């Protein structure tokens, strides 16, 4: 366990008039946010211990029943249930002293096939916050922190979070939004998925388009080892190859499609990566860039999704970019105009925003 280093001399701001009502409103909002911060760990706990899954049927339950059914200690189950009820994740009935998980929460917290499935988002957040002490140090020096340097909850949580969106949108909406790409994939195309992490997107595309071949690449060896196992398990390893390579060096040429899913802004040298994509892409090929939802200006992103993404940008994505050569540090909320600059600087001529969700921008880039 680490302790955050604080300044030794307390800073006293110059006195300014204070509205006591606004001050108290802010204090109570902050109390709610502290509760929400702790709830990140509580959701991970509920997911890991099977609390939510045990309650998914909507039946009311007491702390001792939950403890018994999950093989856990009743004291922990009791406090966890009360904390969840205080945050409106559960309903509480004082007459019977029982708790129930509403159907919507059950879908979002237990149903892996739901587009609203959330545990990965919480696991990613929990892992990210645990590594924040290193970020405070890096902000003092300007050093970066590579993706590989994070704890496994960051990698696994990221995959679970993004996989939910790829399952919901990639095949039915995003690929069809690209001109002529689905037809090529159906006939048999070559595809490079760059910065593929655990390969969720690569494997999903491979399962859907059995005539096409895929190469997924990522600079992080640990992620590629997992991606290879996942391809074996999915029965697509004969058409999917995974390689450890930075985005400026992945192999192959004449690709019909290159994809980067939520990875371009993490790279130190996105322009170098874009040049390499151009070099390995067929002249009539397409580069699909999926980036976190963002507008081009800070004021466009001052909303709940932007807030979460600026948080990840500060603690995860910007340090990742700064840890690599060039260290452009686009930031998670770079926005389409900045991504277009990256692509056109690398020699691409055509650029279009073709789809979006509350969490993603999908961009079509062509020579």
Residue ranges in contact with ligand SAM by CB under 6 A: 147, 158-159, 162, 195-197, 200-201, 218-220, 223, 246-247, 261-263, 266-267, 320, 324
When the beta carbons of 319 and 336 are compared against ligand SAM, the nearer one is 319
- In whole angstroms, how close is the CB of 269 to ligand SAM at the nearest point? 7
Classify the C-alpha dihedral 221-226-231-237 as positive or negative.
Answer: positive
CB 110 within 8 A of CB 53: yes
User: In angstroms, rounded to a whole number, what is the distance separating the alpha carbons of residues 79 and 122?
Assistant: 19
- In whole angstroms, how close is the CB of 3 to ligand SAM at the nearest point? 29
User: In angstroms, rounded to a whole number, what is the distance separating the alpha carbons of residues 351 and 349?
Assistant: 7
CB closest to ligand SAM, residue no = 197
Please give the structure tokens belonging to residue 94: 């004082």
What's the gap between Cα 79 and its chain centre? 29
- In whole angstroms, how close is the CB of 240 to ligand SAM at the nearest point? 14
Classify the C-alpha dihedral 141-147-150-153 as positive or negative.
Answer: positive
What's the gap between Cα 184 and its chain centre? 29
- In whole angstroms, how close is the CB of 67 to ligand SAM at the nearest point? 35
CB 117 within 8 A of CB 108: yes
- In whole angstroms, how close is the CB of 200 to ligand SAM at the nearest point? 5
- In whole angstroms, how close is the CB of 181 to ligand SAM at the nearest point? 18
When the beta carbons of 181 and 328 are compared against ligand SAM, the nearer one is 328
H-assigned helices in the chain: 20-49, 51-55, 63-70, 74-86, 103-110, 119-130, 132-141, 152-169, 181-187, 200-208, 221-234, 270-280, 304-312, 318-322, 336-345
When the beta carbons of 78 and 148 are compared against ligand SAM, the nearer one is 148
- In whole angstroms, how close is the CB of 230 to ligand SAM at the nearest point? 11
When the beta carbons of 209 and 312 are compared against ligand SAM, the nearer one is 312
When the beta carbons of 49 and 200 are compared against ligand SAM, the nearer one is 200
When the beta carbons of 270 and 336 are compared against ligand SAM, the nearer one is 270
DSSP 51-73: HHHHHTT---B-HHHHHHHHT--
When the beta carbons of 63 and 197 are compared against ligand SAM, the nearer one is 197
CB-based contacts of 186, cutoff 8 Å, min separation 6: 209, 211
Phi, psi for 184 (deg, rounded to 5): -65, -40
């Amino acid at each position: 366990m680490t302790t955050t280093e604080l300044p030794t001399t307390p800073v006293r701001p110059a006195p300014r008039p204070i509205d006591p009502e606004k001050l108290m409103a802010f204090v109570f909002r902050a109390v709610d946010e502290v509760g929400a911060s702790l709830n990140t760990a509580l959701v991970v706990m509920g997911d890991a211990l099977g609390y939510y899954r045990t309650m998914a049927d909507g039946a009311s339950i007491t702390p001792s029943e939950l403890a018994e059914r999950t093989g856990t200690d009743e004291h922990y189950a009791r406090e966890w249930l009360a904390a969840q009820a205080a945050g409106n994740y559960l309903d509480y009935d004082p007459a019977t002293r029982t708790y129930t998980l509403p159907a919507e929460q059950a879908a979002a917290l237990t149903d892996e096939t739901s587009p609203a499935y959330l545990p990965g988002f919480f696991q990613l957040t929990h892992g990210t916050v645990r590594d924040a002490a290193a970020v405070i140090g890096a902000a003092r020096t300007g050093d970066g922190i590579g993706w590989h340097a994070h704890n496994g909850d960051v990698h696994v949580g990221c995959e679970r979070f993004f996989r939910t969106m790829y399952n919901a949108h990639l095949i039915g909406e995003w690929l069809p939004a690209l001109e002529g790409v689905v037809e090529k994939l159906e006939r048999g195309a070559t595809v490079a998925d760059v910065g593929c992490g655990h390969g969720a997107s690569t494997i999903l595309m491979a399962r859907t388009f059995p005539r096409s071949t895929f190469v997924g690449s990522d600079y992080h060896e640990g992620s590629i080892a997992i991606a290879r196992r996942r391809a074996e398990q999915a029965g697509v390893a004969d058409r999917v190859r995974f390689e450890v390579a930075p985005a400026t060096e992945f192999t192959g040429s004449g690709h019909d499609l290159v994809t980067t899913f939520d990875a371009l802004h993490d790279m130190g040298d996105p322009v170098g990566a874009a040049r390499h994509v151009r070099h390995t892409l067929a002249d009539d090929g397409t580069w699909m860039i999926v980036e976190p939802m963002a507008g081009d200006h800070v004021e466009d992103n001052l909303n709940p999704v932007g807030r979460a993404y600026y948080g990840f940008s500060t603690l995860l994505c910007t340090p990742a970019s700064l840890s690599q050569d060039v260290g452009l540090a686009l930031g998670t909320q770079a926005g389409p105009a900045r991504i277009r600059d990256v692509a056109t600087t690398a020699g691409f001529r055509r650029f279009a925003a073709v789809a979006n969700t509350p969490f993603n921008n999908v961009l079509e880039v062509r020579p």
